[in-house]
Copies of this chain bind each other. A is one copy, B any other.
Amino acid sequence: MFLVAFVPFNSIAADIKAGKEKSAVCSTCHGDKGISAAPNYPNLAGQKEQYLIKQLKEFKSGVREDTIMASMVMPLSEEDIINLAAYYASLK
């Protein structure tokens, strides 16, 4: 007998509410509802979830370099990243 285990792309289920709570520090630049007030900061509302996860991970690993974002993502766990991405993707 064979047991086949599927590991989905994100094995952690996203928690939008937890993402919203974690987003407090992000909102300074990216806005309360993910619409940035400053021209140099991207809107995040409604952005693709997988894209956001990839960018947060790349800021964390240093693949994508940005001084501000490097320090913002430093304390984030894999779970935090998944929750934040789900939260911003859920916004209009």
Q: Which residues in A have some Cβ–Cβ distance to B below 8 Å? A: 36, 38-43, 46-51, 54, 63-65
Contact = CB atoms under 8 A, between A and B. Distances in A.
B46 A39 contact: no
Contacts of A36: 48, 51
Contacts of A41: 48, 51
Copies of this chain in its oligomeric complex? 2
A79 B70 CA distance: 31
Contacts of A46: 43
Contacts of A47: 42-43
A80 B39 CA distance: 19
A42 B51 CA distance: 6
B43 A50 contact: no
